[in-house]
Structure 1
Amino acid sequence: MAARLFRFGLAVIFVAAGLALAFGYDRMGQRAEVLGLPLALRVPAGLWQVAAGVFLMIPGRLGYGALMGLLASGAAVAAHFAVLGLDSAPPALALAVICAVLALRHRADLRR
């Protein structure tokens, strides 16, 4: 039960971040502008995060969701180190570590 609740919480984080990025809401939109990310790339990147959150909740597809989340949060960590600064990099880094652990733990899902 706790693992399912944890996955649900992680999925909510990815869906919320993805929607905020796709719609350019508040700080996510400002960060996308600082990065020079055009709308044609911002929307698919946000939808990628939403898809990661959805896959995290589908039994047997958790490995795919974790891998997609790892790519998204890894890109966020790289953006923080390169351009945005390290003030809000720790949450992205924590998400990357969590997704890496989940991807390793559920790597059997990737073979299906």
Structure 2
Amino acid sequence: MSDFSEEFDFSARKSGKGLFAEGEWHGDDVTLIAALDGDAAEAIDTLERLHKSWKAWSSDLRDAIEEEYGEAGDIWIERITAFAKGEFEIEFGAPDLFDEDTGLATGNLKDGFDEIGTVG
């Protein structure tokens, strides 16, 4: 795996909500956001830690989705927003479950996923 900071350049885009980067996240084209609600470096660290152990996190995500909604079918990641203190939100597509809606999973690096739902 290549270096996270080489794959995702957070210096290119910034808004009031955070630092943005786009790229390929384990096969999915994603937007990453390091939220500016706290320490941006901590938020980027959260993203990097998710990235390094994504195989386990993606399995946990699928398990959490299927526990809440049943068989998920195809799932892809659209956006990940990370916050300080290891908290994150993952927006994902799961057309077999949500039709037009986007799924939303929230959690933190210490305790895993705490909520699964939809956005819009």
Q: TM-score, normalised by structure 1?
A: 0.27
Query: Of the two structures, which has the highest relative contact order with CA contacts closer than 8 Å and spacing of 6 or more?
Result: 1
Higher helix share: 1
Higher strand share: 2
